[in-house]
Amino acid sequence: MKRKYFGTDGIRGRVGEPPMTVDFIMKLGWAAGRVLAREGPGLVVIGKDTRVSGYMFESALEAGLAAAGLDVLLLGPMPTPAIAYLTQAQRATAGIVISASHNPYHDDGVKFFNGDGFKLPDRTEQAIEAMLARPLEMVSPAEIGKASRMEDAKGRYIEFCKSSIAFHRSLRGMKLVVDCANGATYHIAPAVFRELGAEVIETGTRPDGMNINRDVGALHPENMRALLLEHQADAGIAFDGDGDRVLMMDARGELKDGDQLLHIIAKSKLKGGRLGGGVVGTQMTNLGLEHALRALDIPFERAAVGDRYVMEKLLERGWHLGGESSGHIICLDKTTTGDGIIAALQVLDWLIERELTLAEACDDLQIYPQMMINVPLEARLDPADSPQIGDAVRTAEAELGDSGRVLLRPSGTEPLMRVMVEGRDAAQVEILANSLAQSVRDSLGAK
């Protein structure tokens, strides 16, 4: 069944335009409540990031859920992974996150976790969409849900994050720049690292409802770099607006993406006997990581782009570790979803144990040059429909051999063909990427 509202990560859009309107979000709360209530009356946990629209949508969801007969526990501003954790900890029926992640403040969204802290399965999202088509009918006055607020949500999650590394481990002696993107980690992440003993230079911790992700955080690492070099810090840590992604920076100011962090965590878990199988990446994961994991005899598989698909592959294989180049890293032995703070702690734990700098920890991973070209098309088309493109791809793959790869991926949201080539030789990669992009233009009717 094709979904009308739910995308790969919940429902998202510009505030004030469908579907991100107050009346729709209240109806969504009711519809979700009706579907979730089929398992019996329960509790739904609601958290949000720091967007000004979060207050409005929090109230709308609260009203809709109460009208469906479910109780609500409000957490206030909390990272997305914190909501997943607290949903589990409270034995709640579900958790709801009000956030548009790395988008600017004028966008917002709603995503759900089930009672186990995992994102809702497709069948539950489809049932919610089917319920949205029905008229809103309140439960009886005696069955209306109640709302309360968790006052110690922050402290509970801070302790959970700290418990993800060994009890005896201390960050004492480390100087860290922590950029919270004026988002949901603003009052959490600095406290976690300080309580573990690090000296913290914090930035992006003054949200005003409209400055989330603006010139700070993982989208703008230049902010972290300036502070890191000024204070001669050991490392920098930057989160996105809802705290499920992280990027790091070494003392020289060189950015380390999700592939590099995933490699460090994989080595750490392998040495400790805690890897639990292999590693899942995506179609965009750098080939250098695949080769580095192969050298360690660590199995590696690729999923479609999106943490949802990484999670599906992990659960299918029974593995624990996966992630994306963007910094969305899932450690299923620690938590149930991507968690920027916990991922960063796993990296720091390895640095301390091995007495390494972040730069040294990344020395044994060669990131291959990668070039992406977006080719606008007249309409959304499948490259498999063109024999000419198939021939061009095979020619490029033959030239790259085992030292590179080619990926042609239609955009899921607009008429674009994404042409990606990567390999050991940057000049070769550029030539092949431009040649393939031209083949796409010639064969699929580019704009």
pLDDT in tens, 360-407: 999 999 999 999 999 998 766 677 777 888 899 999 999 999 999 999
- pLDDT at residue 447 greater than cutoff 90: no
CATH 3.40.120.10 is the classification of domain 157-361: yes
Region 11-151: CATH code: 3.40.120.10
Give the tokens for residue 72.
């609500």
* Per-residue model confidence (pLDDT) at position 363: 95
pLDDT in tens, 246-302: 999 999 999 999 999 999 999 999 999 999 899 999 999 999 999 999 999 999 999
Average pLDDT over residues 50-54: 98
HSE-up (13 A, CA, CB side) for residue 134 = 13
Count, residues in the chain? 447
CA distance linking residue 221 with residue 216, whole number of Å: 7
**Residue spans in the chain of domains classed CATH 3.30.310.50:** 370-444
pLDDT in tens, 165-180: 999 999 999 999 999 9
Distance of CA 154 to the CA centre of its chain: 20
Give the tokens for residue 332.
């299923």
* pTM for the full predicted model: 0.93
**Residue spans in the chain of domains classed CATH 3.40.120.10:** 11-151, 157-361
Percent of the chain surpassing pLDDT 70: 96
pLDDT in tens, 212-229: 999 999 999 999 999 999
CA distance linking residue 219 with residue 235, whole number of Å: 17
pLDDT in tens, 303-316: 998 899 999 999 99
Q: In what order do the strands lie in the sheet with 321-323?
A: 300-303, 279-282, 321-323, 329-331
- The C-alpha angle 420, 422, 424, rounded to 5 degrees, equals 170
DSSP of 372-429? EEEEEBSS---GGG-HHHHHHHHHHHHHHGGGEEEEEEE-SSSSEEEEEEEES-HHHH
pLDDT band of 9, cuts 50, 70, 90: confident
Q: What is the mean pLDDT of the chain?
A: 94
Strand partners, 314: none
Note whether 327 and 340 are within 8 A (CB): yes
Interhelix angle 122-132/22-36, rounded to 10 degrees, is 120
Decide which of 3.40.50.2300, 3.40.50.720, 1.10.1660.10, 3.30.310.50 is the CATH code for 370-444.
3.30.310.50
Task: Single out the catalytic residue among 53, 59, 99, 101.
Answer: 101
- pLDDT at residue 233 greater than cutoff 90: yes
Burial class of 8 by CB neighbour count within 10 A (0 to 12, 13 to 18, 19+): middle
Burial class of 151 by CB neighbour count within 10 A (0 to 12, 13 to 18, 19+): exposed
pLDDT in tens, 405-446: 999 988 766 788 899 999 999 999 999 999 999 998 888 665
Helix or strand run (H / E) with residue 439 = helix 426-444
Strand partners, 42: none
Residue 101 a catalytic site member? yes
* Per-residue model confidence (pLDDT) at position 416: 86
pLDDT in tens, 57-81: 999 999 999 999 999 999 999 999 9
Alpha carbon separation from 305 to 9, 264, 323, 412 (Å, rounded): 12, 21, 10, 11
